Amino acid sequence: MESAPIGSSHDPAAGRQASGCWEQVSLLDLVAATPVGAAAGPPPLSSAAELTSMAKPRLSLPPLAAATDPLKAAERPADAAAGCPTQLLILDTETTGLEPEQDHCIEVGAILFHVPSRAVLSQLSFLLPCESNPAAPINGIPAAVTRLSQPWDNALTYFRALVEAADVIVAHNASFDRQWFGRGVLPALAKPWLCSMEDLRWPAERQLRATPSVRDLALAYGVPVWAAHRALTDCIYLAQVFSRCDELEGLLLAGLEPRRLYRAQLPYEQRHRARQAGFRWNDPIPKAWTRRLSEREAAGLSFPVAPVGPLAGSSSGSPIAHPINSTAA
């Protein structure tokens, strides 16, 4: 509906009409528009607050998306959450090196995340004392800082409680983080693990690599990247991504499908196809392109692959030798 121009002498209250910005009503216009001795009409304005209250925003803000509004969580289809984990423990570690046999975990960060409401329920981060930290130039944690007095043992007790409250543990590059638990003071974590880099198939419209970094994920979902290489920081990025992801339930359910390691059956000239599909060269199998996939994902590839290990969680110890031929174009 069209409205009179703002500031029109025919309508002193025109500033209250909705269009594109905030407007303040002119006090002189209000006084001039009131006949002397008029008995009818509103009482005189007595404060700046009342004047301000008459100024109405002309910008219509969009409603909160269901993914970030806890009050709208119940509006999601019931089948979207069927079988989906309710609470995730988003976890990250900082370490003195890459080898658990000789290096140590010196920081743990964790966030308990509620999937239906897309809400952070609790979070913590704590340092573990170490004598030296060769990785200090990377993670920015001097060994001397880890030895400062702080109740890390109490934090570890609370961390155990968060693990108990979670249905699934989520980590970015989970195979790295998982190997530090069950060593030293860190407890073994007897919960299902999910890798946000390897196991979740992010929507194509986000234009991400098959195995994106935490930074790439954050930027793809409009999450500001303000720091790096501390455990809780990466957990916060993932929690923010999850809170903005409408497809989260579907991603989690697909990511929890049993997986095994597959080797790409491609000639050297076509190795780019394996790389584009997220396969890694020389890791963990020397001179091979491999990736962890579900049987459904393996069957959907456009090139043949061969399994080189049992399904995760399976008691079978003998891998199948024959390749799987894809039916996808």
Question: Do residues 193 and 174 make contact, with C-beta atoms less than 8 angstroms apart?
Answer: yes
In the predicted model, is pLDDT for residue 21 greater than 70?
no
Q: What is the pLDDT of residue 231?
A: 96
In the predicted model, is pLDDT for residue 127 greater than 70?
yes
Residue-wise pLDDT for 131-144, tens only, equals 999 999 999 999 99
Euclidean distance between CA atoms 159 and 156, whole angstroms: 5
Quote the percentage of the chain above a pLDDT of 90: 64
Q: Taking residues 272-284, what's their average pLDDT?
A: 91
Q: Taking residues 46-63, what's their average pLDDT?
A: 41
Classify domain 78-255 by CATH number.
3.30.420.10
Mapped to the 3 state alphabet, what secondary structure does the chain carry? Answer: CCCCCCCCCCCCCHHHCCCCCCCCCCHHHHHHCCCCCCCCCCCCCCCHHHHHHHCCCCCCCCCCCCCCCHHHHHHCCHHHCCCCCCEEEEEEEEECCCCCCCCCEEEEEEEEEECCCCEEEEEEEEECCCCCCCCHHHHCCCHHHHCCCCCHHHHHHHHHHHHHHCCEEEECCHHHHHCCCCCCCCCCCCCCEEECCCCCCCCHHHCCCCCCCHHHHHHHCCCCCCCCCCHHHHHHHHHHHHHCCCCHHHHHHHHCCCCEEEEECCCHHHHHHHHHCCCEECCCCCCCEEEEECHHHHHCCCCCEEECCCCCCCCCCCCCCCCECCCCC
Q: Domain locations in the chain?
A: 1-36, 78-255, 258-329
Residue-wise pLDDT for 94-123, tens only, equals 999 999 999 999 999 999 999 999 999 999
Q: What is the pLDDT of residue 24?
A: 47
* pTM of the model as a whole: 0.69
Q: What is the pLDDT of residue 52?
A: 40
Quote the percentage of the chain above a pLDDT of 70: 70
